[in-house]
Structure 1
């Protein structure tokens, strides 16, 4: 039995159906922001509520709704949850072996100022990881690094989520942009150009905004030269690469230019005062003594390189895993003649499983006359980015000379730490799959598209924002709403390239409140069960930034139309 989605299922009325579709989303906001539920409880109850609404209001067969939730849960565990496990595990290895103390010292040798550490680690290094891997790894790794440096866990997680705004659209080697070409027929390079004429404005602003959140306006102005170096280095490179090279490299190159530009600049310029958090100021004497002791310790270049080697290996492996040809081999889909890649392909094929999802596979029809959509449990054990990080962790074991017994024990400790975040991720991704199968997300998109030719350019980024909040992925949000953006834009006289770019640019501002991202960040910094606190921290910033993107798009549709390629 097939199920045809009905986007006006409630009273044959789009507005009324949209209100019903909003219920599980509003409930999730209420559960975290007001009720302050633990993340896994909020996720589980939201999932149950979405299934009930899908069955009763949208007439989805019960078995189809439940099985679509299991499909999402499997995807939540692999690849997303697997990245969290591997990332936290790698970080714990460096802490247990004492190597992280050397890493901490090396960062402090560049700057002891918390504002500048946030720019180096959360903004630049996090953007590099986003460009190479995506899927939660940037926030997990950079947040863990900041906590190790002495940041408050909540601040570390929140700052990394907000910093991740700038690179998300071009994350994972440009996949979010490339994904829009298929359903729309518009070249990815043209969409890339338009995004590259929107996001640089945010990329310049985000470093300033990060420091402002941390320290207030006066303390922000003290490090304005460093902020400008960091932001403009990133933004200019992002514009040039997205417009002249395509969507694959903007994040990686922008992050590297920003990171090295700021590090070099800090060799010649220092802030007048060293900023630390208020809790640290209360222990000023102890901190001063600690810093003196730190400054008295001198590590060789070899020791510093060894300490950083786990993260160098992580960068190398996830970058390798992201190369399209190698990615095909790792997932068992390589068809070329290269002998090495053919051998990897054989292993990848053996470790890739694609069983059909019962009651969902070829059963869901998006509209009358459309072909039923396939549905698989996509389990790629070798191709998963988490596997790349695990390989880095295995090599790290030999570099730091840790026994297998300690290595395995640390892995077990990691699994125990992240069990509730994994449950949170599984339930919220399951929720996303349920509302997509039911057609609730499309109902909300159609309702926003009704805002008309004057308001739609402003609200078009909100579609991407909503899509990323629901799915946790700019790629998924782009696939979900790309065609709707294109059709709506053409009907109101808006350039479809601008609307597609708006979807992706708006989506990046939704990443920081996505339940998946919140769970990932909390797991990385040891705040399992505190997801509500992090959500309350990021929600206001998310809304503020998506409004900025909406204004940029509205202006580009009118007085700044010359910016459209």
Structure 2
């Protein structure tokens, strides 16, 4: 049995937290500073995490390595499982040229690339986040923007930044459901507070997106549709999370936001040639004005409609219970870890959701898609294998980063960092979102960050006299801003648009926006912990 220790370095929580943070710091420096390729940075960071766990924390080497293998397994399933299948669906639509039809359909909605970024990355991306999550929105929206003529780097950056406001309620509310489970707080209470924080981000992100696409001119000329889209999204997310269902918050927000955007006359005005010339590459010009038969347009939308239908049906109570019945749980070999409080950690057990996971549902939707758009079974299998080959370096990056995260979690490194932040006392309200941000930056998942730090946030809140619901929600709301800098998401974005090996370039571009939005969220939480914004809480 390995018992986690919170202060292994000279009995000092501060020094221990400094040592514990080394693996993540190494990964970020290698990516953003030294410009090492992501899969190599991930492997170096994993080695650092193993050495810290073994030498500084005294975790037996066998258990350390076993924990890393479990993290790699989790990286393959369910995370990469959904990315592979989502990109497979996309490849089939490209093969049959239905993606060109979809591209022209979006192009006819508006030829303004700034509005297209809002429609595709913000609204459609939020819908994909609601239904699938785990990197699928970044993967699919990036390639859609490239197909519309965006420069690959700009497309990836826009998709990464857009994938923020919907994340807390993504994958049918999985992050907030997990947060409620690990904290023991009622789901409605937690979802209600999160629904009064992330909508404030939704007001900012669309404006930020049009600025990323076209600078100050983009803000000056398209601030009206961006603000309307963000306000409608925020209102719908707030209403659904507080008065309807956390699981439906992002679906409602995405649809209402898109509807409001389309209803703005300004959004449908033609963009000037200087705008298109400065934002788009020459790819967009080919065949964009062609008229497609209604039947072909319907077939082009079919894959995404099928994904919506399959995920919606899977949430029906009877179907959900039936799918969950196939889930298998195993005692993970060579792991026997107990927390500093004497409780067995969840990592001792590995859960394999064979059917009740987004990747399997997307795979099923992809099979139906192949039939709907006329892809032969042999060609569908060939495209799936080609997708795996295309993602081979992404596979290595994600598995190494998730292995790193599991080693940090199981050895107690993450708990040390969490307790160090929680000891901030009066500054806890400000630092609470930072803890969630750190958790997502390491794991790439708001769900994982909530599982890791949610209970700690509640304990710290009660000791400091703050609202447990507020700090628990802050963990999730701050976490969504770490998504754009997580190595696995950076790798997914690069793989999707053909920029393999340029994860460091993307990190340097999105990191300032991640930190800037995190500061905004920290100030929101501080305000809600005081009379300044305390009235916004239920």
TM over 0.5: yes
Tell me which moved more, 135-144 or 258-267: 258-267
Instruction: Please tell me whether residue 226 in structure 1 is matched to residue 229 in structure 2.
Output: no
Could you tell me which residue of structure 1 aligns to residue 291 of structure 2? Answer: 298
Could you tell me which residue of structure 1 aligns to residue 190 of structure 2? Answer: 191
- Decide whether the 8 Å contact of 2:347 with 2:410 is kept in 1: no
Q: By how many angstroms is 1:306 displaced?
A: 1.0
Q: By how many angstroms is 1:50 displaced?
A: 0.4
Could you tell me which residue of structure 1 aligns to residue 401 of structure 2? Answer: 428
- Decide whether the 8 Å contact of 2:83 with 2:134 is kept in 1: no
Deviations 1:12-32 (A, max 9, x none): 110010010011111011110
Alpha carbons of 1:59 and 1:280: their partners in 2 closer, same or farther (altered >3 Å)? same
Could you tell me which residue of structure 1 aligns to residue 473 of structure 2? Answer: 501
Q: By how many angstroms is 1:113 displaced?
A: 1.1
Could you tell me which residue of structure 2 aligns to residue 320 of structure 1? Answer: 313
Instruction: Please tell me whether residue 381 in structure 1 is matched to residue 358 in structure 2.
Output: no
Counterpart among 323, 329, 345 of residue 322 in structure 2: 329
Could you tell me which residue of structure 2 aligns to residue 488 of structure 1? Answer: 460
Extract unaligned runs of 5+ from structure 2: none
Could you tell me which residue of structure 2 aligns to residue 527 of structure 1? Answer: 499
Q: Distance in 1 between matches of 2:131 and 2:317?
A: 12
Could you tell me which residue of structure 2 aligns to residue 276 of structure 1? Answer: 276
Q: Distance in 2 between matches of 1:181 and 1:374?
A: 19
Q: Distance in 2 between matches of 1:267 and 1:216?
A: 18
Aligned CA-pair RMSD: 1.9
Q: Distance in 1 between matches of 2:263 and 2:192?
A: 29
Instruction: Please tell me whether residue 477 in structure 1 is matched to residue 449 in structure 2.
Output: yes
Deviations 1:348-383 (A, max 9, x none): x3xx544432111xx111124324646234333322
Instruction: Please tell me whether residue 438 in structure 1 is matched to residue 411 in structure 2.
Output: yes
- Decide whether the 8 Å contact of 2:37 with 2:504 is kept in 1: yes
Q: By how many angstroms is 1:396 displaced?
A: 2.1
- Decide whether the 8 Å contact of 2:49 with 2:408 is kept in 1: yes
Q: By how many angstroms is 1:34 displaced?
A: 0.8
- Decide whether the 8 Å contact of 1:222 with 1:272 is kept in 2: no
Q: Distance in 1 between matches of 2:156 and 2:312?
A: 23
- Decide whether the 8 Å contact of 1:321 with 1:385 is kept in 2: no
Could you tell me which residue of structure 2 aligns to residue 142 of structure 1? Answer: 141
- Decide whether the 8 Å contact of 1:132 with 1:172 is kept in 2: yes
- Decide whether the 8 Å contact of 2:214 with 2:279 is kept in 1: no
Could you tell me which residue of structure 1 aligns to residue 333 of structure 2? Answer: 358
TM-score by length of 2: 0.95
- Decide whether the 8 Å contact of 1:110 with 1:267 is kept in 2: no
Alignment of 1:111-122 (within 5 A): 111-122=110-121
Instruction: Please tell me whether residue 33 in structure 1 is matched to residue 32 in structure 2.
Output: yes
Alpha carbons of 1:159 and 1:368: their partners in 2 closer, same or farther (altered >3 Å)? same
Could you tell me which residue of structure 2 aligns to residue 370 of structure 1? Answer: 343
Alpha carbons of 1:76 and 1:371: their partners in 2 closer, same or farther (altered >3 Å)? closer
- Decide whether the 8 Å contact of 2:80 with 2:395 is kept in 1: yes
Extract unaligned runs of 5+ from structure 1: 333-348
Deviations 1:502-541 (A, max 9, x none): 1111011011111222222222222222222222222111
Alpha carbons of 1:373 and 1:272: their partners in 2 closer, same or farther (altered >3 Å)? closer
Q: By how many angstroms is 1:266 displaced?
A: 4.6
What SS does structure 2 have at the residue aligned with 1:378? Answer: strand
Alpha carbons of 1:259 and 1:218: their partners in 2 closer, same or farther (altered >3 Å)? same
TM-score by length of 1: 0.91
Q: By how many angstroms is 1:39 displaced?
A: 1.1
- Decide whether the 8 Å contact of 2:53 with 2:64 is kept in 1: yes
Q: By how many angstroms is 1:326 displaced?
A: 2.6
Give the count of matched residue pairs: 536
Q: Distance in 1 between matches of 2:460 and 2:434?
A: 14
